[in-house]
Amino acid sequence: MSATPMKEDILEKITYGFYIVTTRVRREELSTREKDYIAAGTVSWLMQSSFEPPMLTVAIQKDSDLNETMGRSGVFAVNILGKDDQSMVDDFSSDSEINTQQINGYTFLKGEETGCAILERGSSFIDCKVEEVIDT
């Protein structure tokens, strides 16, 4: 999936590592939910795919809840982990436990652009809009 927009200075923080990707579907779009539905997961492959406009390419497991929810919403956030945040990788590698203020015990805020979960712990984040999906 490719995404835009983002700040160029944040692109410098993308190196080999792990990222926590979050997405959400507004409750108004789901007849079976009383609140927004949030999905979150660990991603290990992410790259800058364009300088102008600034875009990312991220690989999401095809049969995952994260992929399905992102496909419905068309938005996601990439939470970039710092050296001290590597313990979070295991906490997001399986199904997430989500309440109104935390995902897997980590506090989050809603991104201004997308409403996706921005983890308070982490070095930075990128709020993104899906531009294209390549299904292989």
Residues 96-136 have pLDDT tens digits of: 888 878 999 999 999 998 999 999 988 889 999 999 988 87
For residues 126 and 124, what is the distance between their CA atoms, to the nearest angstrom? Answer: 7
Can you tell me which residue has the tokens 């929810």?
69
What pLDDT is stored for residue 128 in this prediction?
Answer: 93
The domain limits of the chain are 2-132
Q: Are 131 and 50 in contact (CB under 8 A)?
A: no
CATH of 2-132, one of 3.40.50.2300, 2.30.110.10, 3.40.50.620, 3.90.226.10: 2.30.110.10
Can you tell me which residue has the tokens 């979960």?
117
Reported as a pLDDT band with limits 50, 70 and 90, residue 40 is: very high
For residues 76 and 111, what is the distance between their CA atoms, to the nearest angstrom? Answer: 9
Reported as a pLDDT band with limits 50, 70 and 90, residue 64 is: confident
